[in-house]
Structure 1
């Protein structure tokens, strides 16, 4: 009886784990849908900023000059939570060619735990879509002192590295790109209440925030998709183990029944001899 009871106890434990994984999978699926909603709104805002930047450059390019950069800040966006496979290890492997000489900023506690080299700063990442804006504010506050240029040298360049649905994303943010406006040229230039230089600086700040926000959402969505795949694979393995344990439990029960029959037969034979 002990062998069968042990198997049944193992079956009950795995079944409980399977139910927990199923609940976690459903939550991850809901979260992916919510993140996609956030991404749609963020991309709409990014298009407005990029369009405004393109219009401004088309009208006032003579008033601004791209700053000379010195050095680089590289921001890596990893995971804050677990159950996402080897995401952080893959990101670290992809970063080897890009981190030489750069100041490293790590986003995500799991990434920071797996990082074995020096870094300039580390902040917690977003576990859910609702947390992205708080992480964005923390990231901007962390990057601001690192992006200050000195009197002798210009500010450093800024780039992002993270894993998205299409693979590794290495996105250069600063110096900001100069998008070209499509379509016919407007008859009148943008009317500004600020100087072109002040307006450009504020617009670059807005561009930087929308780009960072988009990267955080994209990275979180991919992380959540990996989490879904990881839990689905784990669920399949549990189902396979439950099936195997069920067969073993049935065999153990058959062996017990056979043993009980043999005992009854032996007892019957012994009684007839007397």
Structure 2
């Protein structure tokens, strides 16, 4: 017997439906102007933020620290790397208010996001979102980007941990009323998205958009029952293979 038919899709939000990388770039340019050494290369600043070499955001998704703590640590590491002053609690609160304002200004859906939702609707494939950010925050983001028809099923606040914990994927499947082998999960990180989903029994799909791959994210060692696409427009054809 062949693989079960995919009847549902769970979607990552950041850098899958929403160009979060672009939003971070928008915010970090303002941070660089106000806080960092003159002449700091914005692409290096962005790369430093996204790489998060100390793993503070993943520590947050494992339930080891609050969102505020991880972002403050990342902000101070950024300042240390590019000539900014250390931020105490009061200074960080001011920094974060500005950063968050500029970050939200930069929120945009990818050009292929709405087309994917239309295609899923047309094909009768049910869908929802599973994310490593708080549910309410992602609902605001999706609505701001015109993607409010995507229902947020699971955030890091649901269980106090995020992907690749299998509970988050399995809860998403339960919200679709489907078994894991009938569901695909699509996200931009090969290890926690495609790999984590596959280990939980779903089809894991790595969205590897050209020019946006993070350092070290080469997809090596992914388990069986994973696929790779370069655009959301390729998803339906990948699911039918």
Q: By the TM > 0.5 criterion, same fold?
A: no
Q: Give the greater-gyration-radius structure (CA).
A: 1
Q: What TM-score do the two structures reach when normalised by structure 2? A: 0.29
Q: What TM-score do the two structures reach when normalised by structure 1? A: 0.26
